Structure 1
Amino acid sequence: MTNDNPRTVIAQGTFDLLHPGHVHYLEEAAAMGDELYVIVARKSNVDHKKAPICSAAQRRDVVDALEVVDEAILGHEEDIFVPIERIDPDVIALGHDQHHDADAIEDELERRGIDCVVDRASGRESTREDEVLSTRLIIDRILERRDR
């Protein structure tokens, strides 16, 4: 039996150098509904940290390959709410460490007539001593272990 009215979830992020923290976030987001759409940020929208290493298309393709993801798309160059309006989700799942202000997002969703809940996923603790759950820390480790 198929669900005629699936609960749609959006997750979003940069997803540069995919790591277990990203996978945890997307698994939690997927558990919030029936369909998971992931909006992968374009380089032009990443202004809160250093620019991504990998291209937007490559990051989207890697995220799209994950079993929990129904579809990964690239974000809009100028207005991050354009794909949200198109998908019309029931839930927007924010990562535990994402810089977004949930209240501001809810206000903008209401202003645009989008009726959905904004929820925040939990963080994932390292399960092994050598596990790295941050793109920045992965890059730092690479630089540390290679001749600069």
Structure 2
Amino acid sequence: MIRVVATGTFDILHPGHLYYLEESRRLGDELSVIVARDANVKHKPRPILPEAQRLRMVQALRPVDHALLGDLHDMFRPIAEIRPDIITLGFNQHFDEERLQQKLRDRGLDADVVRIPGYPGSLASSSKIIERILNTRGPASPNGPVGEE
């Protein structure tokens, strides 16, 4: 059995997330997804949805066999428990594949690291969705704030 692990924040689910998970699942027989903890998201704005809600949404997706929250202190702990054959990265995740591969080996983990290309869609990122909402529903938009008549 080939085990695959995908990781991410998964804030405001969109087609790009689904594409990433579908492509990750195609690489093996079982897909586990590690959802970033709120406290560990430091490389971009904090998630809008709390970690428990993001986890619940990821658990409900068809390609996902297992989903869990990441470890607060050691990002490799859940990977060591799952012992995947493959770890996938999204096209915009900030990891360097070679450095990650070496860190895995240093921990006795022999998993290949595969970068999944981006989804070809205009609203395939949470930041683009947020920007569109603000431009079309925010106070300065022609439509005004949501709920305003």
Q: Which runs of 5+ in 2 are unaligned?
A: 140-149
SS at match of 1:105: helix
Alignment of 1:84-103 (within 5 A): 84-103=79-98
8, 33, 37: which one aligns with 2:3: 8
Q: Which residue identity does 1:59 align to in structure 2?
A: R
Partner Cα separation in structure 2 for residue 63 and residue 100 of structure 1: 21
Match of 1:3 in 2: none
Match of 2:114 in 1: 119
Q: Summarize deviations over 1:81-106 as a string: whole Å, max 9, x none.
A: 11000000000011111111111111
- Percent of aligned positions with the same letter in both sequences? 49
Q: Summarize deviations over 1:25-81 as a string: whole Å, max 9, x none.
A: 000000010000000001111111000000101001101101100011000011111
1:132 aligns with 2:123: yes
Q: Which runs of 5+ in 1 are unaligned?
A: 1-5
Q: Summarize deviations over 1:81-135 as a string: whole Å, max 9, x none.
A: 1100000000001111111111111111101101110111111112xxxx51110
SS at match of 2:17: helix
Partner Cα separation in structure 2 for residue 147 and residue 140 of structure 1: 9
Match of 2:142 in 1: none
Match of 2:133 in 1: 142
Partner Cα separation in structure 2 for residue 22 and residue 108 of structure 1: 25
Q: Which residue identity does 2:125 align to in structure 1?
A: S
Cα shift at 1:146: 2.0
The alignment of Structure 1 onto Structure 2 pairs a total of residues equal to 139
Match of 1:62 in 2: 57
Alignment of 1:24-103 (within 5 A): 24-103=19-98
Q: Which 4+ residue blocks in structure 1 deviate beyond 6 angstroms? A: none
